[in-house]
Amino acid sequence: MDNAFDAFAKELNAGYPGTAVFYGEPMRKHTTFRVGGTVSLFAEPKSLEAFVWAVRELRRRELPGLIVGNGSNLLFSDRPHALAVLSTARLDTLRLSGDSLISGAGVLLSRLASAALEACLTGLEFAHGIPGSLGGGIYMNAGAYGGELRDVVEAVTYLDNGGSLRTVPCAECDFGYRHSRFENTGEAILSATLRLRPGDPREIREKMDDLSRRRREKQPLNLPSAGSTFKRPQGDFAARLIEAAGLKGLSVGGAQVSEKHAGFIVNTGGATAGDILALMDKVREQVYLTSGVTLEPEVRIID
């Protein structure tokens, strides 16, 4: 298998010189939880063409691959993974067209929100503090404080599983609560058009500042995490149920249910993915015993 990844990487670099490729790369370097084992190959294709080539080629060679944006919703287990990870970091073009932003999948949501402010466009304030990329945000239909990406996505361009480029309108993205079609299909999101509205820059700035302040007050932003560990159950909040079960501060190794926000599991230093997964199991069990609710992970686990 290692030879197959090597052959793929060599061809990627020959076709697209300057593409960064790392063998046996620890995923703790690329995820906000700062845990996780190595992957056979980690590549950052240097352009959209290189990225498209790499996705098509992995499929043609039947090699296991995974796309990673900013790694802020991913938990890789501690073992070595026979996997080629493709980063979208260089899918970073961003341009303004009327009231729309046309953006590569690798552009960070914070950069998009700032670009919207600069262009006096409203609608993306909610996304300012979400530490993900546009692609990861669309995949999850990321949202906060009453806004979600589906509110602003006009169209998404992706590479389908047959290797063809396609563009679909928002209505065909099957957006739901922390869900999109891309979770089911595994199609590679390349770029999207976000439709915004003209707004008053002072009001946009005030809203962004207010949401940042609320995040800083409520969330343990000083410690590595993947944000909310569990999805919001129907009619309730994961954090409320976890706190009601008396689990705030509960630890396994270096993983802890945050003292500041029970919805977050944090890495207090030296946590392994195994610690985090064991703590998640404990939390799920205790919450089920005390409230009858089964919590579903929001963070995507790569076992």
Q: Which residues are marked as active site? A: 178, 228, 298
Residue number with CB closer to ligand FAD (217 or 290): 217
Helices (H), the chain: 2-15, 48-60, 109-118, 134-140, 181-185, 201-218, 238-244, 273-291
Contacts of 3 (CB under 8 A, 6+ apart): none
For the bound state, the minimum distance from the C-beta of residue 287 to ligand FAD, rounded and expressed in Å, comes to 20
Residue number with CB closer to ligand FAD (59 or 286): 59
For the bound state, the minimum distance from the C-beta of residue 3 to ligand FAD, rounded and expressed in Å, comes to 25
For the bound state, the minimum distance from the C-beta of residue 176 to ligand FAD, rounded and expressed in Å, comes to 13
DSSP 259: S
- The three-class DSSP label of residue 298 is coil
One DSSP character per residue, 134-191 reads HHHHHHHT-EETTEEGGGTEEEEEEE-TTS-EEEEEGGGS--BTTB-HHHHH-PEEEE
- 130-158 as b/e: b if 16+ CB within 10 A: bbbbbbbbbbbbbbbeebbbbbbbebbbb
Radius of gyration of the chain (CA): 20
Residue number with CB closer to ligand FAD (187 or 275): 187
Do strands 188-195 and 165-169 pair parallel, antiparallel, or not at all (unpaired)? unpaired
- The three-class DSSP label of residue 91 is coil
Residue number with CB closer to ligand FAD (74 or 252): 74
Residues that bind ligand FAD (CB under 6 A): 32, 66-74, 88, 105, 130-133, 135-137, 139-140, 142-144, 182, 188-189, 221, 225-227, 300
For the bound state, the minimum distance from the C-beta of residue 55 to ligand FAD, rounded and expressed in Å, comes to 9
Q: What whole-number distance in Å separates Cα of residue 45 and Cα of residue 89?
A: 8
For the bound state, the minimum distance from the C-beta of residue 61 to ligand FAD, rounded and expressed in Å, comes to 19
DSSP 29: G
Q: What whole-number distance in Å separates Cα of residue 214 and Cα of residue 194?
A: 25
Residue number with CB closer to ligand FAD (25 or 99): 25
